[in-house]
Each structure stands twice: as C-alpha cells, then as structure tokens.
Structure 1
Amino acid sequence: MKRKGYFIILTICLMGYSAISQRPAGIFADAADVGPVNHTGNTTYNAETHAYRLTGSGANIWATKDEFHYAYKRLSGDFILHARGKLLGEGVDPHRKFGWMVRTGMDTSSAMVSAAVHGDGLTAIQFRRQPGANVEQVISPVKQPDVIQLERRGQSFLLSVARFGDPFWTVEVPFFEFPEELFAGLFICSHHPDILETAEFDNVRIVIPAKPDFRPYQDYIGSHIELMDLETCRRKVAYSASNSLQAPNWTPDGQMLIYNSEGLIYRFNLAFGQPEVLNTDFVNRNNNDHVLSFDGKMLGLSSSSGEEAYGSLIYTVPVGGGVPKRITTVGPSYLHGWSPDAKWLTFTGGRDGVYNIYKIPSDGSGPEVKLTDLPTLDDGPEYSPDGNYIYFNSTRTGSMELWRMKPDGSNQEQLTDDDFQNWFPHFSPDGKWIVF
C-alpha cells in the first residue's frame, strides 16, 4: 500500500584533462574523446525527449588501450547506471560497441569496467583491473539487449542486461581495487579508426542506492515523478524533490497530477511544472491511497487524521479542495477505487488483523460490505471502467497474483499465474489495458 522513491544525483564537477571536451550534456558534466582517435566525436542531448546521441570513432576498447567517445561525470561510492540504447544504421564493423563505462582516469590505458553491446549482438562486461593491463570479459547469453545496467556495489561490479520487457540477466564480477571516486558515463566506439558510428540512449538514469542502514518510511532518499509514453516506453522526469513524492494520479483532462507528500495532497500542473497544496483542511496525514472519481469531480483520501487507534480512514473531498467528509467508521481502511457511477468506494480493510476487500457507499450513507473473506492478503481493488468487475491482487494461491470479481464479490477468478509478484492493477481510461 506504500511505495518507495529513488534519487538521482545531479552534482556536476567540471574536469580539465587533455581529452578534447565539449559542453555538459544533460546529467553529464562533460563529453570527450578518449585515446588518439582520428575523428572528433560528439554528444547531443534532447531536452524534450531526455535522449542522448553519441557519435564517435576509435580503433577499439580492448587489450591495453582504449579509443572511444565518452559522456561522463564523477561519481563516488555505490551507484547504478541504467539506460536503454541502440546503435543507429547498419554500421561498418560488426564489433562497433556502445554502453556504460566506469574508469579510474581519462588516459587511454586507465583501469575500467564497461557494459558493452556490440553491433553483432555480443554483450559482455569487459574490464581492465589495473592501468595498462589486458582487458578481460564475461560474456552474457543475452544477444542484442537494449536495456543496459552497470552497478557498483562495494568492490564488485554487476552487469544486468535485457531486451526491453524481459527480466534482467545479471552477473557479478568482484574484487576491484578502484578508488572511491570514478568517472562514469555512456560510450560509443566504432571499432574502426576511420569511421564514425552513432548510438542513441533514452531512459538514462544514474541512481544512488539506499545505504545499508536505510529505514523504510523513516529515511527518504528523494523521488522523481516520471511520465512514460506508452507507445515508445520513453520516460521523462517531470519533477524531482529531496523528500518522498507518492502516488501521482492523472486528472481526467490530462492537465494535472495529484499526489501526496509528507501527509499533504498536491496538484501538479504539467504545463507549469510546479506543485501546489490542495486544501484538505484537518485531513493532513494522508497516505498514498488516494483516488479520483471517474468524472474527476471528487477525490477520495486515506488518512490517519481520525482516531489514532484506527490508523488509516477514508474521506472524500471535492477535487478543488475543502473540508473532507469521513466515510469509513473503522480502520485501517485504504482506498483504491471509485465505481464509475461514483456511488461506491472499494478499499482494503484490516479487520482483526486480516486484510480483505470491501466496498461502501461513497456518501457514507450505509455500512461497509465485505467482498472477500480469506485469511490471506487481498489488496488493491479497482473498478473496471464499465463497472462490471472489481480487479484486485491476492496471495490466496501462494504468490501475489491478479484477480477479479463481480462488484458483489461473486465469481472470483485468477488472472495471472507466473514467477512474479503482481500488485495493484490500474485501468487505462478506455478500459483496454491494465498496468500493474
């Protein structure tokens, strides 16, 4: 019923090295050619799509020296480098390659680790443990992945790759004696000294993971609100904050997001890019289970602003703000959905330590109605846009899977059965898709 955020570090350090450098691009501090390349490379950043395009040459990244183009910054400690990328055009040499790279220096023979995808599909974590040493590698069985991740975890580096939509394949290579601060960034190498090749990257993120002593829901490492184009699956950061931002909900007109942070509800105008507090009067300990009615006129809230013994209770308020009306008499109650006609609310209720699915009249005029009755966890109920079903998630068969039932609780049927833990089904406005 709660979600975690993560924080991208944007500290920029400009560096003076003999490599030919460009102006900073996006989240990177600089871009430069490494090694004696014959043709100057280039990095461009599209501020609208948040995509990067790297063009570069270079004989190879192998043996005892490297030649390539690099967009980079300095990072310290543990980090995760994540991107989706592809080579453009047919290319000249099948061993042209692109990906992420971490280096101890900008010299052609510096120690380094790279997550490299080649033009012929070969994918590997390639590394030079000491300056001037020969490159070693561990080859991935995944060919031509477009999702590339390189993680530093203590003295280890982890390569994770996948074709978009598939699970990661991961390998860990330990025992690197690298300094605390490293260069990290995207690279392109043409594998031919007289040829320029180009790679394009999107969904580029540099993530600083939580510390080992991190305390969930007590410590926060910051958040992004991101927007994803469902056709291209390209993501953009719409807003960032150093505290916790939770559960953005689209308004039906697509102009605003409604989210919660530190107990308050905020409206975020996408055109202006700035949040404002929505007045919910005395209901000021909201959690992340808030839901807009289908017509966008009302907002349901889950909040611990009532009797402390009950924890979360459900309230409703006009979408423009005002004094909320309490709906549930007991708790904990976590709201997840409105019926399309706005007459009912469906929620997860904890009663005597057991969490099941309930519904209740949205005006508070009647008692809650229990729809599921099992000792396992049922959660995340949401009406389908046609009102014919309530979709939810349940552990009743062992793992967390998606289910649906009629609005009266009858005809409960399982929808997923796989190796994943499936939570919180949400419908597209036209009712054709579910995201979970």
Structure 2
Amino acid sequence: MLWALNAYAQDNAEQPEGKVLQSSLETYNIETGEREVVYQVKDHIEAPNWSHDGSYFLFNSNGRLYTIPVEGGEPKQLDTGFADNCNNDHGFSPDGSMLAISHSPEGEGSKIYVMPATGGTPRLVTEKAPSYWHGWSPDGETLVYPAQRNGEFDIYAISVNGGEETRLTTAEGLDDGAEYTPDGKWIYFNSVRTGVMKIFRMRPDGTGVEQITSNEEYGDWFPHPSPDGNHIVFLSYDASVEGHPPNKDVVLRLMPIEGGEPEVVVELFGGQGTINVPSWSLDSKKFAFVSYSWVDTD
C-alpha cells in the first residue's frame, strides 16, 4: 500500500528534486546486532510502539494511528474517534489495555487523552495545551509529559484520571522526553539545561536530578528504559544540530542503565519521528524505530 506523500515531506526544503520520502519501520536486536526491516512505504510514518503482547506495532501518520503485525503486512487504521490530528507522542499503559495519545483539536495545541488500546473514544486528561505524552508510571496511575506553560517547556505529571498537574522540572530551557523506569524509581528525560541536550534522570517527585550523558559531540534525545530495567536507548544528533529536526544523519545509542559509555548501535538518516516514544519489545531483546531515505517517485 502506498499512501500519498504528506505535506510534511512535500514542504521540506531539503527534499531533493524528483525524490519522495520513504519510511522504513525497523527493529534492532541488542543481543545479535541484527537490524531488520519490517515495513517500507513511500510516505512519512513515525514513532513506533511495540504492543504489550508483542504481536504488532503502533505508529502515526498523517494525523492517524495505525497498527501492523510484527512480521509485516498491511497497516490498519486504529479507531481513535474524533482524534484525527494525532502527533508522534503515544504509548501503551503498563498492562497493555490502554493507550495514551496526543491530539491537537482544531485551533488548539496538543492535549493528552487516554483510550482503549483496541480503539474507541478518547477521554481528555490534560485541559491545558500544549501537552505531549511521553511516559506512564508502572502502576498505571500517572502520566508524565513535557508541556509548555508561560513560554517554558518543563516536565509535568498528572493523574490518568485528569485533575491538577504537577510541575517536576524548573530549570531554564527545554525539558522533554520523560519516561519512567520499570521499577518506578526514576524518570529519565532530556534537557538542554547545561547548554547541549543531554540525558538526565530524577525521582518521580522531581528531586535528585542526575546528568547521565556528557559527551559534548552529541545532542541526546528521548531516553527509553528497557522493560527489564537493564538498558536505555536514545537518539543522538551531532551537537551542532538545534532541536530534533527530521532528515538528519543520526545515531541510536545504547547504554547500561546503571551507567557507562553509550555504544552506537544504529546509524541512520532520520531524527524527528525515529524513536520518540517507548518501542522496546517486552522481553527487552529488541527495539523498533523508523529510518528514512529519499527515493525515486516511481
């Protein structure tokens, strides 16, 4: 199935003449180093999650969410009710029964909703916008997310049932990509507070902040702890790159969660959309990501 190339790629100034964007949904096996392509399409797809039962991937494209079997095949659109402007911040609850999504209602910024993982009508969690889901506490009771309030992006927490949000970070500069460890003792996130985007962690109440990565050659984004609590994988740009744009030469780096030197495990063309959200298999042996390339229109 070939979907029409979306406005994102059409408007990209870096798009070579006569070329279209091809997205490749891939997996990487941390034990064997094997990199496997599951699905390719001449369109822009982003941010795969691995389902709790291990049978399918979830990704977003053109404001909608899609599922595809882990062995490949044809994507199927997930019923998200009125939410037809979903971005790449989505993920499953710890028990796999629910899904958190980030949808921008017409004329508004992104808000966070929860819904059945099998599809259905989303329920609003965050009244304020913009808010972008990134993590779910292991007990299923709390969501963490970066949000812009009064011109500043910080990490916030909120009950899955909604209500008042709690600000967890206060440092000047962008904080993003918040995600709990499986034991619930830490929240990993990325922050530009030291000048270059790096990986940090903090306690769930926002205390005990520690910097995890330090190599000034890289800008590090979106740390994802493995389900067994042994590793984190994250995306790194060249430190000269501002923000987390698409269509850059980037690497995925893997490191022990207790610390150590990160290892480059995948080199690819990508960035935004590659590995924004949790994408580990439940057995912690593989993670999923999206790489991109410019290909002929034929």
Equivalent in the alignment of 1:380 = 177
Aligned partners of 2:112, 2:92: CA distance in 1, in Å? 13
Is the CA contact (8 Å cut-off) linking 1:336 and 1:348 kept in structure 2?
yes
Q: Does 1:268 align with 2:101?
A: no
Equivalent in the alignment of 1:227 = 27
The alpha carbon displacement at 1:252 in A equals: 1.8
Quick one: which amino acid aligns to residue 404 of structure 1?
R
Equivalent in the alignment of 1:353 = 151
The alpha carbon displacement at 1:290 in A equals: 0.4
* Compared CA separation, residues 212 and 431, structure 1 to 2 (3 A): closer
Equivalent in the alignment of 2:120 = 322
**If the length of structure 1 is used for normalisation, what is the TM-score?**
0.49
5 Å matches for 1:121-132?
none
Equivalent in the alignment of 1:242 = 42
Q: Give secondary structure in 1 for the equivalent of 2:26.
A: strand
Please, which runs of 5 or more residues in structure 1 have no aligned partner? 1-6, 8-209
Q: Does 1:251 align with 2:51?
A: yes
* Compared CA separation, residues 412 and 211, structure 1 to 2 (3 A): same
* Compared CA separation, residues 272 and 211, structure 1 to 2 (3 A): closer
Quick one: which amino acid aligns to residue 429 of structure 1?
P
CA displacement 1:371-400 (0-9 Å, x = unmatched): 001221100000000001111010101111
The alpha carbon displacement at 1:233 in A equals: 1.7
The alpha carbon displacement at 1:287 in A equals: 0.3
Is the CA contact (8 Å cut-off) linking 1:289 and 1:335 kept in structure 2?
yes
The alpha carbon displacement at 1:212 in A equals: 8.8
Aligned partners of 2:45, 2:33: CA distance in 1, in Å? 22
Aligned partners of 1:362, 1:247: CA distance in 2, in Å? 22
- Structure 1's consecutive aligned runs of 4 or more residues displaced over 4 angstroms after TM superposition are none
CA displacement 1:405-426 (0-9 Å, x = unmatched): 1111111111111121111000
Aligned partners of 2:54, 2:75: CA distance in 1, in Å? 15
Equivalent in the alignment of 1:370 = 167
CA displacement 1:26-83 (0-9 Å, x = unmatched): xxxxxxxxxxxxxxxxxxxxxxxxxxxxxxxxxxxxxxxxxxxxxxxxxxxxxxxxxx
Equivalent in the alignment of 1:4 = none
Q: Does 1:422 align with 2:209?
A: no
Aligned partners of 2:145, 2:20: CA distance in 1, in Å? 27
5 Å matches for 1:28-427?
213-214=13-14, 221-271=21-71, 273-305=73-105, 308-309=107-108, 311-364=109-162, 366-418=163-215, 419-427=217-225
Aligned partners of 1:399, 1:261: CA distance in 2, in Å? 30
Q: Sequence identity of aligned pairs in percent?
A: 45
Aligned partners of 1:220, 1:326: CA distance in 2, in Å? 36
Aligned partners of 2:14, 2:54: CA distance in 1, in Å? 35
Q: Give secondary structure in 1 for the equivalent of 2:44.
A: coil
Quick one: which amino acid aligns to residue 313 of structure 1?
K
The alpha carbon displacement at 1:273 in A equals: 2.0
The alpha carbon displacement at 1:331 in A equals: 0.8
Q: Which protein is bigger by CA-based radius of gyration?
A: 1
* Compared CA separation, residues 250 and 380, structure 1 to 2 (3 A): same
Q: Give secondary structure in 2 for the equivalent of 1:435.
A: strand
Aligned partners of 1:353, 1:220: CA distance in 2, in Å? 35
* Compared CA separation, residues 408 and 328, structure 1 to 2 (3 A): same
Equivalent in the alignment of 1:177 = none
Is the CA contact (8 Å cut-off) linking 2:38 and 2:71 kept in structure 1?
no
The alpha carbon displacement at 1:271 in A equals: 3.6
Aligned partners of 1:380, 1:212: CA distance in 2, in Å? 24
Is the CA contact (8 Å cut-off) linking 2:173 and 2:192 kept in structure 1?
yes
* Compared CA separation, residues 353 and 212, structure 1 to 2 (3 A): closer
Aligned partners of 1:211, 1:425: CA distance in 2, in Å? 29
Is the CA contact (8 Å cut-off) linking 2:28 and 2:36 kept in structure 1?
yes
CA displacement 1:310-356 (0-9 Å, x = unmatched): x1110000100100001101111011000001100000001122100
Is the CA contact (8 Å cut-off) linking 2:38 and 2:72 kept in structure 1?
no
The alpha carbon displacement at 1:211 in A equals: 11
Q: Give secondary structure in 1 for the equivalent of 2:60.
A: strand
Is the CA contact (8 Å cut-off) linking 1:300 and 1:317 kept in structure 2?
yes
* Compared CA separation, residues 220 and 287, structure 1 to 2 (3 A): farther
Aligned residues: 223
The alpha carbon displacement at 1:294 in A equals: 1.3
